[in-house]
Structure 1
Amino acid sequence: MHNQKELFNLDKQITYLNGAYMSPQLKSVESIGLAALTKKSNPHLISGDDFFTEKVILKQRFAQLIEVQDFETIAIIPSVSYGIAIAVNNIPFERGDEIVVLEEQFPSNYYAWKALEAEKGVIIKTVGAPEIKLGRGEHWNQRLLEAISPKTKCIAIPHCHWADGTLFNVKEIKLRSAEVGAYLVIDATQSVGALPFSVAEIQPDALICGGYKWLMGPYGLGVAYFGERFHHGKPLENNWMNHIGSENFSNLVNYNHTLKPKATRYDVGESSNFILTPMLSEAIRQLTNWQPRNIQQYCKDITSSAISQLKNKGYFIEEDDFRSHHLFGIYPAANKNIEQIKAHLADKKVFVSYRGKAIRVSPNVYNNEADLDKLVSCLT
């Protein structure tokens, strides 16, 4: 795979290594968004079919990206917290059930579970990162597996950690969760799109993705997969489109209380959003064309030299086998002044994030090795 910067409108004066914060917009996605925006100036051009056609295309494309055969297992959601709320409200918790989460995982995949302690009497079991450098990611994965017990009702984790890219072996975790009958709910916002994920292989109960990061879509729309254990659940809202027969506008006066099958029942109201839905759909089309495995390899190729240099200068970065290549944390040595580092990067117009104790670097196909060389120069 070669550099794809020409497909974006990134400012040539900056070095953007911050895709985990928000992706830049593809020119093709921007073009579709502008065309969709102007279409509503003439609403007679929006037909009844338009309320459903783009939704189906988006679901089909996301299903292909994550290797799902049935697009009706895909729901359109406005945010990760919405998808998590669907899972929370449809898992039959009892007092004493345990929910396993990771230390410092993203708040939208924590607050709703934490609230269940007071509401249901469940127990939140937080698995912390080991205070070691050698083998940190491997030991964290082992701790996570050991935390799953017959009392575990749900494992709610990311595919890779949002702060530093630590990878979690979701295939092993799924096998362990199946042994105890626990639900596996994965927040894949920081992975799907740039890191391969196969629902057919992993078989999570839910996979929830915000759309504006690695899916390269607009802010305010996401997608989620819900497996068989959720196919007869209760949606957060009863909007008109998630009921059987909603395609027939003239018959909407005759209420049909039967919900649509599988995950379609969980679609957010106004999910046919005539601007955001086709934009996210186009972004996923491009990702499918590139293929996440190629994106991951490209990121590995352009970052390997920089990572080696930084390690030689005393920075800690997780070993390759236990972190993603599109998102990784750089931990400064104790003698480094983080505020000086921030100021120097800002002065050189190098955009990264700071999460916890890590400098979070998240390149993509619009970056090249020279961008990483510039980062190294600033840090050393």
Structure 2
Amino acid sequence: MRDDLREWRREFPILASTTYMISNSLGAMPRGTADRLAEYAHIWATRGVRAWEEGWWDMPVTVGDMVAPIVGAPPGSVTMHQNVTIAQAIVRSCFRPQGKRKRVVCEAENFPSVMYYYGAQPDLALHTVPVDELPGAIDERTLLVPISHVLFKSSYVQDVRAVVERAHQVGAYVVLDCFHSAGVLPFSVTELGVDFAVGGCLKWLCGGPGNGWLYVRPDLQALEPTFTGWQAHEAPFDFAPPPIRRTTGSLRWLNGTPQIPALYAAIEGLRIVREIGVARIRAHNRDLTQRLYETVKAAGWETITPDDPERRGGTVCANPPNAAAVARELLARNVLIDYRPDAGIRIAPHFYSTSDECEAVMAEIASIVLGRPRLRVTRA
């Protein structure tokens, strides 16, 4: 492990008792998050309803401004929401199909929740294709292109620029899902030219559940989402009857009362990721995932993870014989990973992970496959 990152391990209590290789699903909780949640409870207990005007009301924007530099977005362009599906629904609510332009085109490997949502829209037609066929499937019938930056099963890093270029040629809008890239892969939504981006703090940003986010390109801020609510009103405490008089800027992308406890929980992870820097995190993760990938290949196990490090996200998949049972035994041995059908065991080291831990995980998998007893894992 790089010496300049080892010091961060003490900030994550779970690392003292587990081998934590599941940051692509739920990032480890920073020690300071307990203090942030205690701060929330103290403010509620002592300030009561006054807390809204003393900071709570603006938290979807102020926490969004903490996300913005991590994903290369300008201040005031990111707002916080409960999850990515809701953020997608807000974007979709800005658009009405006109004539033949009613298609939603995405890769077949997209996250199911996103496809469930778009597939349930009665006035839209969801069209999915393999990821390598995506640009060619976008045409003048396409309204929205909700794509994953990094595919959740394989960890394949998609060629976003090619998709954006094709979509804009035919007048379609791109919604980039950055859930599996933000915090582990350096990128800029501004430089990529996407129209919208969504993601969350649950995984690589170590912010816990309930912390989805939405980026809207500044020149699109004037759009009017119909998935709206009182927080988007220019004078919400007038409690005026409809129609809504929308506020300006990023607040117009909000809706109902925000998820304040979750926003407090997100702060420490965002602070730490920003302090370390995503470029440093990527360099460390790339070293570890390369070791993991080479070990998987040497063992002869199947993997759908890309061979090219430039096209590989923060996760390596290992699919040994009886992978689901192996995954269950790993969990029983206090090695935290997850299993996905057609992918196998997903192993996701973060900046707080060590090369020794990566070697130990692979040794545990081998021992389970061979029917050998549990190994002793050393933690530093």
Return the TM-score normalized by structure 2.
0.86
Distance 1:80 1:254 in 2: 29
Q: Are 1:48 and 2:39 an aligned pair?
A: no
Question: Which position in structure 1 is the counterpart of 2:209?
Answer: 219
Kindly state the Cα deviation for residue 277 of structure 1 after the two structures are TM-superposed.
2.1
Is residue 75 of structure 1 aligned with residue 79 of structure 2?
Answer: yes
Is residue 217 of structure 2 the alignment partner of residue 231 of structure 1?
A: no
Query: Cα 1:340–1:63, aligned 2, differ >3 Å: closer, same or farther?
Result: closer
> 8 Å contact 1:99–1:155 — kept in the other structure?
yes
Cα drift, residue 53 of structure 1: 4.8
Alignment of 1:141-160 (within 5 A): 141=132, 143-160=133-150
Gaps of 5+ in 1: 129-139
* Contact 1:102–1:126 (Cα < 8 Å) also in 2: yes
1:106 corresponds, among 88, 105, 111, to: 111
Partner residue in 1 for 2:66:
61
Whether 1:2 and 2:5 are equivalent positions in the alignment is yes
Q: Which residue of 1 aligns with 2:261?
A: 275
1:185 is paired with a residue whose SS is strand
SS at match of 2:117: helix
Alignment of 1:261-300 (within 5 A): 261-271=248-258, 273-300=259-286
**Residues 244, 350 of structure 1: CA spacing in aligned structure 2 closer, same or farther, 3 A cutoff?**
same
Task: Provide the secondary structure at the position in 2 that maps to 1:364.
Answer: coil
Written as runs of structure 1 = structure 2, the 5 A alignment for 1:1-380 is 1-3=4-6, 4-44=8-48, 46=51, 48-71=53-76, 73-94=77-98, 96=100, 97-116=102-121, 119-120=122-123, 122-128=124-130, 140-141=131-132, 143-227=133-217, 228-229=219-220, 231-239=222-230, 241-246=231-236, 252=238, 257-271=244-258, 273-315=259-301, 316=303, 317-321=305-309, 323-332=311-320, 336-358=321-343, 359-380=345-366
SS at match of 2:14: coil
- Once the two structures are TM-superposed, the CA of residue 63 in structure 1 deviates from its matched residue by 1.9
Q: Is the 8 A contact 2:292 2:316 kept in 1?
A: no
Where in structure 2 are there 5+ consecutive unaligned residues?
367-380
In 2: Cα distance, 1:345 partner to 1:100 partner: 38
- Tell me, in whole angstroms, the C-alpha distance in 2 between the residues paired with 1:295 and 1:102: 27
Q: Measure, in 1, the Cα distance between the counterparts of 2:335 and 2:61.
A: 39
C-alpha contact 1:212 1:219 (8 A) present in aligned 2: yes
What's the offset of the Cα at 1:344?
3.7
2:374 maps to none
Structure 2 counterpart SS, 1:40: helix
Do 1:77 and 1:268's aligned partners in 2 also have CA atoms closer than 8 Å? no
**Distance (whole Å) between structure 2 residues aligned to residue 293 and residue 24 of structure 1:** 19
- Secondary structure of the residue aligned to 2:282 is helix
Q: What value does the CA root-mean-square deviation take over the aligned residues?
A: 2.3
The total of aligned residue pairs comes to 355
Letter in 2 for 1:376: M
Per the alignment, do residues 51 and 306 of structure 1 end up closer, same or farther by CA in structure 2, a change over 3 Å counting?
Answer: closer
Residue 69 of structure 2: SS of its match in structure 1? Answer: helix
Counterpart CA distance in 1 for 2:306 and 2:254 is 38
Distance 1:47 1:355 in 2: 41
Amino acid in the other structure paired with 2:232:
N
Tell whether the 8 Å contact from 1:78 to 1:268 is kept in structure 2 after alignment.
no
Give 2:146's aligned amino acid. Answer: A
Deviations 1:43-76 (CA, angstroms, capped at 9, x unpaired)? 35636232345444312222222222241x2222
